[in-house]
Amino acid sequence: MKFALQVFFHNFNFLVYFIYGLVFFLSGFAAWFQARRRSELVIARYLPFLAGFGILHGLAEWGVIFIPIYAAYVGSLTLLAMKVFEVLLVGSSFALLLHFGVSLLCDSTNLNRRLSYVAPVLFGVWLGVVMITLIVNGGQVLPGWFLSMEASARYAFGLPGALVTAFAFWRQISEFDALKLPRVRLTVAIMSLGFASYGVAAGVFVPGAPFVPASVVNAEAFFQVVGIPVQVFRMFFGGLITCCLIRVMDVFELEVSRWLEESARQQAVLTERERISRDLHDGVIQSIYGAGLVLETALHTMDNDPGAASTLVSKAIERLNGTIRQIREYILQLEERESISFTDEMARISRELEEETGIKVNLRIKGGSERQPPALLREELSYVLREAINNAKQHGRAKKVDVLVVYKDRKIEMVVADNGTGFDLHLVRSKGQALRGRGLVNMERRCRRLGGSFQITSAPGQGTVVKASIPYGGV
């Protein structure tokens, strides 16, 4: 069995290295893409180093495939330059990983910031050794030189870099806990274990170099004992890291979403303040001002006509009592607005959209409507409801929309069905039609960000059905 595995992997060695390089290249690209966006999370400040590691390491592993192919078509000097460049890619990628881990750890703990210079200094020393040995030997490399340089890079940067990064990510769990996303916490923990495992696979089982321990514990010895190349395990752990990293990237979208939501809340607060100020001015203040005028008139008539003055004072007292009742009613209205149930909120939104769009909205509620969902869940479902009905009006020219909200034990489901013109769902998603396509993507992201699901069914002439489901524990 072991021999058969060895033969298989020997014949398909190029495929292993291709997938291995692709996995890390994708992880680097994902980190680079997020590094260009604004974030307040500590990890975001150092994502460019992690992106550099992934991209450079992917290119280095692809070099193992393509350099032998070009060897027959290029001169010896060009071939030497390509091999040296590959070694430099390996060393620089692991140096970036070490710098990422140390910098992240220093920023999230009380460690001395000067430790962040460890990776650049070590890399400078290693690079100096590479250049000096090349110059001393007149551009001619000794047997085993490439293996020695790569093995030393893995010992100096790869193993400590992966382990420090794993520990740094583990320390970041508390920061992600603040976002109240338990699934992300688990993802970060898995990614931390993935980096630690990758560190062992990439930093312990190095190429067989002519020095201890690389001459004893190396990738070739691992292959002979296990029957599977260590690159397969590196590829697996790299894939695990990439999947977890992409999943963690959703946190940054949630962060942006919460910024927008906070901005909307602040705008709502400002609008509410303006409304309260206007209501107080037009109602309460005017009533108090009127009572003041009555009392002023009573003061002037008190000496000449005490009876009339007494009547005016009674009117002023009556007006002030009315003002007090008005203020109390106003405060009660504010309290009721803040404590409105989710069911009442959905009903209010349905009425508002009915008035705004002219569409007949039929709302039905099933299940334990007395349960109050978390605020973020309410906001997301409210957004989906608004977006779905606005799409039904704007794109589907619907006349009627049926909304069904179902309270279940662990989640809330909402189904929005319209009788509009419908559309070709595949065409919209493949061509990314501007407003409608973006609206569908936003609704789906909002649901999936909270661990929920989103499904849309539509066909030309058959209307559209939007189904959103979000668990209570996803918030």
Q: Which pLDDT belongs to residue 201?
A: 94
- Greater model confidence, 34 or 413: 413
Q: Which residues pair with 365 in a beta bridge?
A: 405
Q: Which pLDDT belongs to residue 298?
A: 80
The pair phi, psi for residue 464, each rounded to 5°, is -135, 140
> Could you state, in order of their start, the residue ranges of all structural domains in the chain?
2-256, 264-338, 342-474
pLDDT tier for residue 204 given thresholds of 50, 70 and 90: very high
Max mean pLDDT among 217-221, 249-253, 355-359 falls in 217-221
Q: Do residues 227 and 2 lie in contact, with contact meaning Cβ atoms separated by under 8 Å?
A: yes
Helix (H) or strand (E) holding 403: strand 400-407
pLDDT tier for residue 168 given thresholds of 50, 70 and 90: very high
Name the pTM for this structure: 0.58
The pair phi, psi for residue 172, each rounded to 5°, is -80, -10
For residue 166, pLDDT beyond 50: yes
Number of alpha helices (DSSP H) and beta strands (DSSP E) in the chain: 17, 5
- Domain formed by 2-256, architecture: Up-down Bundle (1.20)
d(CA 2, CA 113) in angstroms, rounded, equals 48
pLDDT in tens, 18-27: 898 999 999 8
Q: Which pLDDT belongs to residue 286?
A: 63
- Greater model confidence, 309 or 363: 363
pLDDT tier for residue 57 given thresholds of 50, 70 and 90: very high
- Greater model confidence, 3 or 435: 3
For residue 386, pLDDT beyond 80: yes
pLDDT tier for residue 8 given thresholds of 50, 70 and 90: low
Average the pLDDT over 26-52 and give the result: 83
Helix/strand/coil percentages in the chain, nearest 5: 75, 10, 20
Q: What is the CATH number of domain 342-474?
A: 3.30.565.10
d(CA 295, CA 313) in angstroms, rounded, equals 6
For residue 464, pLDDT beyond 80: yes
Q: Which pLDDT belongs to residue 92?
A: 96
Average pLDDT, the chain: 82
* Lowest mean pLDDT segment, chosen from 67-76, 209-218, 282-291: 282-291
Max mean pLDDT among 232-236, 327-331, 457-461 falls in 232-236
* Lowest mean pLDDT segment, chosen from 59-68, 265-274, 422-431: 265-274
Q: Which pLDDT belongs to residue 433?
A: 47
Average the pLDDT over 146-162 and give the result: 93
Q: Do residues 168 and 105 lie in contact, with contact meaning Cβ atoms separated by under 8 Å?
A: yes
